[in-house]
Amino acid sequence: MTKTTAKPKASTASDEAKVIDYLQKNPEMLMSYPEVFTALAIPHHGGGVVSLVERQLKILRNENRKMEKKLVELVSIARENEELNQRFHRLALELLNTDSLDDVLSTVQDQVQTFFNTDYVCFKFLPDVTDKKKRLNNHYLDSKSGIVAALKPWLEKRRPVCGQLEHKVIRELFGDEIMVESSALIPLYHTAEIGLLCLGSASKDRFNKNMGTIFLKHLGELVSSRIQGLLDV
C-alpha cells in the first residue's frame, strides 16, 4: 500500500499573496462590497476577534489623540513665542531709554533673568575691550586663567552655545560659590568680539544643546549694539 505524502501549501500562500496584491492595488474594492467589508475580522491582542471596521475605528481614534496632543503642543509653543516676543520688545524699549553703560548692564541682568526664566545672569568681557571709565572692571575675563583661549572658538562663531559646561569654565564665568548645572553663552560682538552674556541655571534641563537659539541670538545682537554705542561715552 502506497503512502500519500502531503503536498506543501504553496498554492494557499500563493493565493493569499495574490489577494493581498490585488487589494493593495485596488483599495476601493471592499467599498463596493460592504457585506464583505463588515464581515472581515482580525485577531485581537486580548483574545478573540474584532471586525475590520472596529479595528480601523480604534486606529483612527489613536491617530486623532496623537494629532490633538501635537496640536496642544504647537499652541503652547506659539504662546511661549508670543510671550517672548512681548518681553523682548519691552527689553528693547528699556535699553533705548538707558543713557549709561552701567544702566544697560543692570537692566539686561534684571530683565533677562525673568525673560528666560533663569537663575543667574552675568557679563564677561574680553580683556582687550577698552573702557576708559573703568565701568567693566568687575566684568572682565581673567586673562591669566586660560579661559579666553577656551572661549575663543565659541566667540568667533558668534552663535549661542547651550548645555552643560566643564566645571572650570563654569567657575570662571559664574564664580566658585554658584552651582550652575546648565547654561547659555551668548556672544557679544560688533566689528569684533566683545565678550559674553552668560545665563546659568540650577537645573540640568533648562538649557540644552538641542534647544532653539533664535531669541538668544537676537538678544545678543541687541545687547551688543547698545553696549558698543556706550563704551566710549
CATH code where residue 110 lies = 3.30.450.40
User: Alpha-carbon distance 160 to 198, whole Å?
Assistant: 10
> Domain for residue 53, yes or no?
no
133 assigned to some structural domain: yes
- DSSP designation for 222: H
Q: How many domains is the chain partitioned into structurally?
A: 1
Q: Does residue 23 lie in a domain region?
A: no
Q: Is residue 83 part of a domain?
A: no
Burial label, 220 (beta-carbon count in 10 A; 0-12, 13-18, 19+): buried
Give me the mean pLDDT over the 205-232 stretch.
89
Confidence of residue 180 (pLDDT cuts 50, 70, 90): very high
* 188 contact partners, CB below 8 Å, separation of at least 6: 123, 125, 194, 195, 196, 197, 220, 223, 224, 227
Express each pLDDT in 58-111 by its tens digit: 777 888 888 989 888 888 878 888 887 888 888 888 888 888 999 999 999 988
β-partners of residue 186 are 197
Q: Which of 6-20, 76-90, 93-107, 205-219 is the least confident region?
A: 6-20
For the segment 136-154, the average pLDDT, to the nearest whole number, is 88
214: helix, coil or strand? helix
Please state, in angstroms and rounded to a whole number, the distance separating the CA atoms of residues 185 and 210. Answer: 14
- Domain extent, residue 165, equals 98-230
pTM: 0.67
In 97-146, which ranges are continuous DSSP H helix?
101-115
Residue 3 confidence (pLDDT)? 52
Is residue 179 assigned to a domain? yes
| 41 belongs to a structural domain | no
Q: Is residue 194 part of a domain?
A: yes
Task: Determine which of 35-39, 57-61, 142-146, 155-159 has the lowest per-residue pLDDT on average.
Answer: 35-39
Asked if the structure places residue 6 within a domain, the reply is no
User: Which amino acid, 153?
Assistant: P
Spatial distance between the Cα atoms of 140 and 196, rounded to a whole number of angstroms = 10
CA distance 212 to 195: 21
